[in-house]
Amino acid sequence: MGAEALRLLVVSTPVGALGSGRGGGVELTLASLVAGLLERGHHLTVLAADGSRLPAGCERARLWSCPGVDQPSWQHQRRDSPVVMPAQALLPRLWQRAVGSQAGFDALINLAYDWLPFWLTPQLHTPLLHLVSMGSVAEVMDAVIADVARWDQRRLAFHTRAQADDFELSEAPVLVGNGFDLEAYGFCAAPEPLLGWVGRIAPEKGLEDAARAAALLGRRLAVWGLVEDPAYAAAVEAAVPAGTVDWRGFLPTSELQAELGRCAALLNTPKWNEAFGNVVVEAMACGVPVVAYRRGGPGELVQPGINGLLVPPDDVPALAAAVADAEGLDRQSCRAWVERTCSRAAFAERLERWLLSALGRSPA
């Protein structure tokens, strides 16, 4: 490590306990952030929902937990929805603990895409920083993020430029990407004739497009993810020939990568502006090329002809037509691209530069 060790409190998402899968990509980001910064010599405490467990590689961090009711996710609200706080809500309890403990830390890092922590930013004595986890989905969130940017944009970091471009910023954004423990992903050189799709089973993820593309090709589509919307999942399955969708459930990384690596290609079909696209990188780490819509974070991660192909958003025939060319790409090139750009060590170094800049410190 090239910098003085920092005492950091990482406040997790108020949607689900760590390890449940309900927090989506934030859980993976938290694991990479905590493990990577621990490896660089910093001291971390994680504050999360009751029932949470620290991911592998994060065992040296402290874990604090709070009881409470999950916060409604903004990605399932209307753009003009107001801020909602359920009775016995987890979100204010997390931040009551964080605010009360702030004196013991050099900085607080918020991973939740919620109004309250952004609003609190100028109120705290200890610097509160935000790794913004989504693009623009609600007017009230756009406004509070813009307020923080005007007050001190150093407090904000984003995963990709496509995500940052959603917001009203006063200067060039800090982009940190994301990071992965690449030892947890095995390379598979000899796949099966199987297409894959990974994500929460919810409308904004666009599973129906991947299923339709697989049906056009007469191929089986393996689907991994937490079923957030059972009615939507049933409608997707009913719209394609029986046997097209092969439901594999939500799996921890160790099990997911072993199955995902056997896919000939991954289809990525979000209907919204994904902030990053963790599953895209997870597939590439296994050697699986990706066919994705040219939208949001995946549109920056997929390098056409190297690790996958991009097609116009919502164009299912184009999605299906690109599969054959994607399957012909060098799978080792997919893995090599991830090793160059998305390792956990590289992510931690980018995070450290952001933290030190926001705190007005310099590396030793």
Render pLDDT for 315-343 as a digit per residue (tens, 0 to 9): 999 999 999 999 999 999 999 999 999 99
Task: For residue 33, count other CB atoms closer than 10 A to its CB.
Answer: 26
**7-179+343-358: in CATH 3.90.950.20:** no
Evaluate if residue 363 carries a pLDDT over 70.
Answer: no
- Same fold yes or no, 7-179+343-358 and 182-341: yes
CB 288 within 8 A of CB 267: no
Evaluate if residue 157 carries a pLDDT over 60.
Answer: yes
Which of the four pLDDT bands, split at 50, 70 and 90, describes residue 20? confident
Q: Which residues pair with 304 in a beta bridge?
A: 308
Residue closest to 39 by CA, chosen among 254, 342, 346? 346
Evaluate if residue 1 carries a pLDDT over 50.
Answer: no
CB 148 within 8 A of CB 264: no
What's the average model confidence in pLDDT over 299-304? 94
What's the average model confidence in pLDDT over 211-238? 96
pLDDT tens for each residue of 239-251 = 999 999 999 999 8
Distance CA 134, CA 272 (A): 10
Q: Which residues pair with 311 in a beta bridge?
A: 293
CB 336 within 8 A of CB 233: no
Per-residue model confidence (pLDDT) at position 234 = 97
What's the average model confidence in pLDDT over 136-159? 97
Distance CA 353, CA 332 (A): 30
Mean pLDDT, all residues of the chain = 94
State in words which class domain 182-341 has.
Answer: alpha beta
3-state secondary structure (DSSP) of residue 164: helix
Report CA torsion sign: 339, 342, 347, 350.
positive
What's the average model confidence in pLDDT over 14-30? 88
CB neighbour list of residue 22: distance below 8 Å, 6 or more residues apart: 15, 16, 70, 226
Task: Break the chain into its structural domains and give their ranges.
Answer: 7-179+343-358, 182-341
Q: Does pTM surpass 0.85?
A: yes
Which of the four pLDDT bands, split at 50, 70 and 90, describes residue 364? low
Per-residue model confidence (pLDDT) at position 25 = 82
Per-residue model confidence (pLDDT) at position 2 = 54
Percent of the chain scoring above 90 in pLDDT: 88
Which of the four pLDDT bands, split at 50, 70 and 90, describes residue 362? confident
